[in-house]
Amino acid sequence: MDSGWELLPYSSDNIAEVRERCRRLVRRRAALAAGVSAVPIPGIDIVSDVKLFTQLIEEVNAAFGLTAAQVERLQPKYRMIAYEASVSVGGMLVGKLITRDLVFKLLAKSGKKLVAKQASKIVPLAGQVASAAIGFFAFRQIGYQHVDACAKVVEELLAAKNR
């Protein structure tokens, strides 16, 4: 059995590169989510957000070597470190099998923004623009938090390996 280390970023510089690549991905997905939010059909943006966010989380986890399958390939000692670091940084989606329920729980934390986004669709053009802006910033913020959580988990693993 391999150690699983070949799946993880291997240095601080490499972690920074993966982090920036993932942040670009977050911005692209946030822009897509904002575009859908501008469509004046209530509810379509929530379905789209869940789908886009689920895909984003899976891609970010994979980029950092932190999908559920990748973490399972780590030696038990490092697997525990990964899970403990994930909990300590609040990364509830790091190293987990991503389900719709999990994404809904995360999006529920941004519930006020989602309600504001839906309510703003009642007002014609200005409401659509506001809805798109709220959607972009909420999606981007949640995505950035996940990228940062993944980077911190990998930094903890790298520090533990070098001890």
Going from the first residue of the chain to its last (163 residues), give the mean pLDDT of each consecutive group of 10, the final group possibly shorter. 61 93 96 80 73 89 89 86 78 57 57 48 57 81 91 90 80
Inter-axis angle of helices 111-119 and 125-161, nearest 10: 160
pLDDT of residue 136: 86
pLDDT score, position 1: 42
User: In this predicted structure, what is the pLDDT of residue 115?
Assistant: 47
Half-sphere exposure of 19 (CA within 13 A, CB side): 19
CA–CA dist 60, 26 (Å, integer):
9
pLDDT of amino acid 148: 93
| 34: nearest Cα among 22, 52, 18 | 52
d(CA 154, CA 158): 6
What pLDDT, on a 0 to 100 scale, did the predictor assign at position 125? 52
Query: What's the predicted TM-score (pTM) here?
Result: 0.76
**Distances 101 to 55, 56, 108, 122, 139 between C-alpha atoms, Å:** 14, 15, 10, 28, 17
CB 141 within 8 A of CB 49: no
- End-to-end CA, the chain: 22
Rounded to a whole number of angstroms, the CA Rg of the chain reads 17
